[in-house]
Amino acid sequence: MKRVRKAVFPVAGLGTRFLPATKAMPKEMLTVVDRPLIQYAVEEALEAGIEQMIFVTGRNKTALEDHFDVAYELEATMRGRGKSLAVLESTRLPAGSIASVRQQEPLGLGHAVWCARELVGDEPFAVLLPDDLMVGTPGCLAQMVAAYEQVGGNIVCTEEVPHERTASYGIVTPGVRDGRLTEVRGLVEKPKPEEAPSNLGIVGRYILQPEVMGILDAKEKGAGGEIQLTDAMAKLIGDQPFHGLTVDAERHDCGDKVGFVKANLALALKRDDVAPAIRAFLQDIA
Strand, helix or coil at 114? Answer: helix
Among 3.90.550.10, 3.40.640.10, 3.40.50.980, 3.10.129.10, what is the CATH number of 6-255? 3.90.550.10
C-alpha of 75 from chain center: 29
- pLDDT digit string (tens) for 160-173? 999 999 998 989 99
pLDDT, position 272: 94
Q: How confident is the model at residue 180 (pLDDT cuts 50, 70, 90)?
A: very high
In one-letter notation, the amino acid at residue 196 is: A
pLDDT, position 225: 83
Task: Give the other-Cβ count within 10 Å of 192's Cβ.
Answer: 9
- What is the phi/psi pair of residue 274, to 5°? -120, -20
Q: How far is CA 278 from CA 32, 40, 250, 257, 268, in A?
A: 14, 21, 20, 19, 7
User: What distance in Å separates the CA atoms of residue 47 and residue 70, rounded to the nearest whole number?
Assistant: 21
Q: How confident is the model at residue 126 (pLDDT cuts 50, 70, 90)?
A: very high
When pLDDT is averaged across residues 273-283 and rounded to a whole number, the result is 94
C-beta separation of 116 from 177 below 8 A: no
Q: What are the structural domain ranges in the chain? A: 6-255
Q: How confident is the model at residue 143 (pLDDT cuts 50, 70, 90)?
A: very high
C-beta separation of 160 from 39 below 8 A: no
- What is the phi/psi pair of residue 194, to 5°? -75, -15
* H-run or E-run covering 183: strand 181-189
Q: Is 211 exposed, middle or buried (0-12, 13-18, 19+ CB in 10 A)?
A: middle
pLDDT, position 105: 87
Q: How confident is the model at residue 123 (pLDDT cuts 50, 70, 90)?
A: very high
pLDDT, position 286: 75
Q: How confident is the model at residue 79 (pLDDT cuts 50, 70, 90)?
A: very high
User: What distance in Å separates the CA atoms of residue 18 and residue 260, rounded to the nearest whole number?
Assistant: 10
When pLDDT is averaged across residues 141-148 and rounded to a whole number, the result is 97
Longest dimension (CA), the chain: 64
Name the pTM for this structure: 0.93
Q: How confident is the model at residue 119 (pLDDT cuts 50, 70, 90)?
A: very high
Strand, helix or coil at 40? Answer: helix
- pLDDT digit string (tens) for 204-241? 999 999 999 999 998 888 877 888 898 999 999 999 99
C-beta separation of 125 from 7 below 8 A: yes
C-beta separation of 269 from 147 below 8 A: no
User: What distance in Å separates the CA atoms of residue 202 and residue 204, rounded to the nearest whole number?
Assistant: 7
- Looking at every residue in the chain, the average pLDDT score rounds to 93
